[in-house]
Amino acid sequence: MTFTWKWGYGRTTNSPKALAIWDIIVGTALVVIFGGILLGIQIFKFNSIKTTGIVIENVEEKGSDGDLYYSTRYSYIDFMGNEHIKTSSGSKSKKFETGDRINVFYLKKNTDKSIYDSIMNTIYLLAFVVGIIILVIGLFSYHKHKDEEIVWSEEGWHQC
């Protein structure tokens, strides 16, 4: 069974070993990028205090591309009783409705610095898991075809 993979500049490969290497590169990139994002979120949550916030409104903004973006404006009260009002970065769809209760995490030393739980955390986790799957497939495939020799020509990578 051979696979054809379209490489840049119109070149293709029928080499399982070259495809395995590509899977390893893509899988590693996904794991590193989304693993780093998830790690950063988890470190922030570990060092912060959890409270419940309330969505005040969805701020509508027009982007430079002409599309509408929605930023979530939310409020929360810190452990000293001070209210903080924050606005998230924009997205093309509303993440919450006005009045929704959300989990907010803020730093004890800087109570104005906060993040909230959103569906994006789940998407980051999903991308991380997909990266691990692609990486594992690439590693197994590479191990299976490790003795094959591949060469480069004008038509692309080829198996010898």
Q: Could you read off the pLDDT of 118-138 as tens digits, one per residue?
A: 766 778 888 889 999 988 988
Q: Is the pLDDT of residue 8 over 70?
A: no
With b for 16 or more beta-carbon neighbours within 10 A and e for fewer, the 7-44 pattern comes to eeeeeebbbbbbbbbbbbeebbebbeebbebeeebeee
What mean pLDDT value characterizes the chain?
83
The answer as to whether 94 is a domain residue is: yes
Q: Which residue has the higher pLDDT, 68 or 143?
A: 68
In a domain, 142, yes or no: no
Q: Is 44 domain-assigned? A: no
Q: What is the pLDDT of residues 70-115, one digit of tens each?
A: 999 999 999 999 999 999 887 888 888 999 999 999 998 899 888 8
Instruction: Tell me, yes or no, whether 56 lies in a domain.
Output: yes
Model confidence, pTM: 0.63
59 in a domain, yes or no? yes
Percent of the chain, pLDDT > 70? 84
Give the count of domains, the chain.
Answer: 1
Q: Is 14 a domain residue?
A: no
Radius of gyration, alpha carbons of the chain:
23
55 falls within a domain: yes
Q: Is pLDDT of 6 > 60?
A: no
Residue 98 lies in a domain: yes
